[in-house]
Amino acid sequence: MSKADIGLIGLAVMGENLVMNMESKGYAVAVYNRTVARVTNFVEGRAKGKNIVGAYSLKELVQGLKKPRKVMLMVKAGQPVDDLIEQLIPLLEAGDIIIDGGNSHFPDTIRRTKYVEGHGLLYVGTGVSGGEEGALLGPSLMPGGSPDAWPH
């Protein structure tokens, strides 16, 4: 597979279903999970034969993305999001986009947008509503963040 259109971190129910939704719309998706066995289980199971590739490190995920890179986080709100942002910043380049698809409180999105933009990157916080079925068939997304990220 050539480089993926988007990367997604976090292969719990919502993350997996969003990946399947994106792939069904023609996007190539790279996936990563902190527990890498989930990556293997997903790409060799439900995602087998799809335009989905597993990554076994954040570096591998980022290197497998088209520029500007778009990395979506589907992890628990709070400190896990901040921790991933810190790990991603050195791997990304100016103009790349971090998308938080978790249930973050809007003051955290405002703070993270300023912080990430200070590193030359773009940030979007977007709530994802609809549960497991919505994520697979058509979630409601409620984005906010860096306006320069919208065209991508």
Residue type, 14: M
Cβ neighbours of 82 (radius 10 Å): 16
Q: Both tokens of residue 74?
A: 């589907």
Predicted model pTM: 0.94
What's the confidence (pLDDT) of residue 151? 84
For the stretch 2-58, pLDDT in tens is 899 999 999 999 999 999 999 999 999 999 999 999 999 999 999 999 999 999 999
**C-alpha–C-alpha distance, residues 76 and 72, integer Å:** 13
Q: Where are the domains of the chain?
A: 6-149
* CATH homologous superfamily for the domain 6-149: NAD(P)-binding Rossmann-like Domain (3.40.50.720)
Going along the chain, which residue ranges are E strands? 6-9, 29-32, 52-54, 70-73, 97-100, 122-129, 140-145
**C-alpha–C-alpha distance, residues 46 and 144, integer Å:** 31
Interval 80-98 mean pLDDT: 98
pLDDT band for position 1 (cuts 50, 70, 90): low
